[in-house]
Structure 1
Amino acid sequence: MRKVVLHLGLALVLICFLILFTVPYWASAVGIPKELKVFPGMDLSLDLKPPLKLYDQQGSEISGLFDTDELGANTYRVNLFGWLPLTELVVDVVPLVEVYPGGQSIGVLLSSDGLIVNNVGSVRGMDGKEYFPARDGGIRPGDVLLSIEGRTLRRPESVSEIVNDLAEDDKSLNFLVRRGNKTINYQVKPIKTKQVDIFGKTVAVYMLGIYLEDPAAGVGTLSFYHKESRRYAALGHTINNSLGRPVEIVRGSIVEASIDSIRSGIRGSPGVKVGFFHGEQSVLGTIDSNSNFGIFGQLYGEFPQTSFT
């Protein structure tokens, strides 16, 4: 008899531990969010089915609408069977924010953190042989080149300038590379090659056998802006590189743009705006975030009356 009771007791203890350790799973399975942000006076309720119950901080059961009259965050507790804590829900009542709708065309200039390696290839040396300096040095497609010998990289053309400025016969250069979440140093030996310049002369230059992407630039649409804080949103989607990865923005800007034409979209191919920028004197603001909802940033100066009304 004692063995039976002991086994039942152990079984109950195991069941309790199982329930406790799977609390996060059950909370997500029934669709209970961690936090909700609402505006004052909004009707908000949580449709919980038995055996789930919702309690406020005073321990009173909530069966109808949440109190959203006053600003601030309130924490509610979701219990299983009325006594076993399952998870907490924070309802944050935030001030109503009014924004101005956009629709204006803007030019988007992104100066990404380093340069993305699109591909690596071969170069032909002065001896006529084929070499793979970047590949042999450890650089792969998808890597982000951050610096060469400590010199920060901003534009693809700067790579050739730095390499030819520093490279000497039989000298390797230190490349700082980001791969995923890791930052790695590689030693790459540029290869001296023969190239024909714009004047038709054969000159000796150092090459890496690497193909780089130019920082993204394009024409988009302003979504909205907040007049008091001068925050804005644009595009409505992430800006990705050619490998389909979101571009990490270090310094970016939006400028005035004019639309030259519009190409209509067809099935499988979205429509495109074809436009041009007005130049750096017409910079409207900075870009500090590239998210799934578009780009966000800070506007400065007064809005040009021709573009913002």
Structure 2
Amino acid sequence: MNSNKRNKNKSILYIIITLSFIYFLQLINLYSLPSQINIFEGGKKHINLLLPFTITDLESKNKIVKIQNEERELGFKTKNKYSLQSTKRGKTSIDIKLLGLFPVKTMEVNIVNRVKLMPGGQSIGVKLKTEGVLIVALSEIKGKDNKVYIPGKESGLKIGDSILEINDTKIKDSYHVIDLLNNIENHEVKLKVKRDNEKIIKKIMPVESKEDGTFRIGLWVRDKTAGIGTLTFYHEKTKKFAALGYGISDMDTGKLMNISGGEILEASISSIEQGTKGHPGELKGMFFESQNLLGNIEKNTELGIYGKMNNNISNTFLKESLPIALQHEVKEGKAYILSTIGEKKVNKYEVEIIKKETQANIAPKSMTIKITDKDLLSKTGGIVQGMSGSPIIQDGKIIGAVTHVFVNDPTKGYGLYIEWMLEESNILKNDIGKQKIRDIPYFFVENCKKKVK
């Protein structure tokens, strides 16, 4: 009798533990769901929920989205498979509830027009100007007393800080810094500095150098950078563009560069260095700063550079704009990229999407791609520096952009969802109305380092 009771209690305990585990897994799943989702007009989105969670429309009168439970299992079932079918443009909200009674998460659903973009693939020259000047090194100074000083460190400055002002004078460039500090002598210098989006004041005391008797503050700074990349798209309606698919970081500090502006220009590829295992290749190109200006850069973000074109731009491979695909429409399988490899015209190269990620919020590394095109493999060995930003196209839609390479296998790399790039450029928001892996920045950087006395 007692044995049967113990077995019964154990069974109940096992059931409770199992249900608690399932509930815990579902809570993790719910946490990963975005607070906002986009669906194209006439499109459909699937959401799977484990029991006992359900979905209800908070604004059913609007009839913007039709919710249907597609799970047809008879008897006991463990999940609800919902389809959200859009009916017309607009916004609505849906509630995820426990036992159909207790709300645990609200999601905003936006039904939008399918955006069309002119795909890129063109090689471009990129010029960025930093906001103020960027500190890339703090150097030692041997003083008249034979002691070694590091004024920058002693004043609390850090590599990666941007100097915006010197003694209340706004900095134009590194040459301006030299002019302002030429006659500082032994007077304390006031610096306005930007660090991690926060502006702070630092004071630094110059040191008289034993070497030549001049007063120095021991900072190395940079005010610009330049390189080669690939255009991802151009939006004719707003004249906005996006390129690279990754943010440009300073080569010395590794931090995303705060910029005051920049330009993209026409560029041509002069030579190709093939990629091999452990050594990414590179497209080497050239551009002339005085001509062929295409547009102005307004933002440098973790997901690429963004700005506005001066004029309409065409594609030598595709003459018309293509619709974009949202994340849930991307599938594993065949696709192709557009890129300019050793020529002035854009060409098509076959790739395969071997893995896609489900991303609740804007994030890089959305999918893993593999180069399958024999012609491209023979020319570059795979993905090389300079190809970042190459648009990825699948089933006649732009789905993303090439970003990074797998160092130990240059035939593979990462891609970024085009949806995230549209969010970053505000195009989608405007339409709504409201192996060892290393991140290689595919950007050939020109060293513009200057020493400041």
Q: Which runs of 4+ in 1 moved over 6 A?
A: 304-309
Spell out the pairing of 1:208-247 with structure 2 (5 A cutoff): 208-241=217-250, 242-247=252-257
Contact 1:260 / 1:275 at 8 angstroms: preserved in 2? yes
Partner of 1:295: 305
1:105 aligns with 2:161: no
1:119 aligns with 2:137: yes
Alpha-carbon deviation of 1:144? 2.1
One-letter amino acid of the structure 1 residue matched with residue 206 of structure 2: P
Alpha-carbon deviation of 1:149? 1.1
Contact 1:236 / 1:294 at 8 angstroms: preserved in 2? yes
Spell out the pairing of 1:4-19 with structure 2 (5 A cutoff): none
Distance 1:50 1:114 in 2: 55
TM-score (norm 2): 0.55
Partner of 1:63: 69
One-letter amino acid of the structure 1 residue matched with residue 216 of structure 2: M
Alpha-carbon deviation of 1:220? 0.5
Distance 2:124 2:67 in 1: 51
TM-score (norm 1): 0.79
Contact 1:160 / 1:207 at 8 angstroms: preserved in 2? no
Q: Secondary structure at the match of 1:240?
A: coil
The aligned length equals 278
Q: 1:305 to 1:83 in 2, by over 3 A?
A: closer
Of 175, 188, 210 in structure 1, the residue corresponding to residue 191 of structure 2 is 175
One-letter amino acid of the structure 2 residue matched with residue 252 of structure 1: G
One-letter amino acid of the structure 2 residue matched with residue 74 of structure 1: T
How many percent identity over aligned positions? 30
Distance 1:204 1:31 in 2: 61
Distance 2:155 2:67 in 1: 65
Alpha-carbon deviation of 1:214? 4.3
Partner of 1:48: 49
Of 64, 77, 80 in structure 1, the residue corresponding to residue 95 of structure 2 is 77
Contact 1:116 / 1:142 at 8 angstroms: preserved in 2? yes
Distance 1:234 1:148 in 2: 34
User: Can you give the 5+ residue segments of structure 2 that lack an aligned partner in the other structure?
Assistant: 1-23, 71-82, 317-343, 347-453
Of 134, 151, 164 in structure 2, the residue corresponding to residue 146 of structure 1 is 164
Contact 1:104 / 1:222 at 8 angstroms: preserved in 2? yes
Alpha-carbon deviation of 1:279? 1.5
User: Can you give the 5+ residue segments of structure 1 that lack an aligned partner in the other structure?
Assistant: 1-22, 196-202
Distance 2:268 2:106 in 1: 50
One-letter amino acid of the structure 2 residue matched with residue 269 of structure 1: H
Contact 1:112 / 1:154 at 8 angstroms: preserved in 2? no
Contact 1:123 / 1:130 at 8 angstroms: preserved in 2? yes
Contact 1:55 / 1:62 at 8 angstroms: preserved in 2? no
Contact 2:137 / 2:220 at 8 angstroms: preserved in 1? yes
Distance 1:179 1:77 in 2: 40
Instruction: State the Cα RMSD in Å.
Output: 3.0
Q: Secondary structure at the match of 2:181?
A: helix
Alpha-carbon deviation of 1:150? 1.9
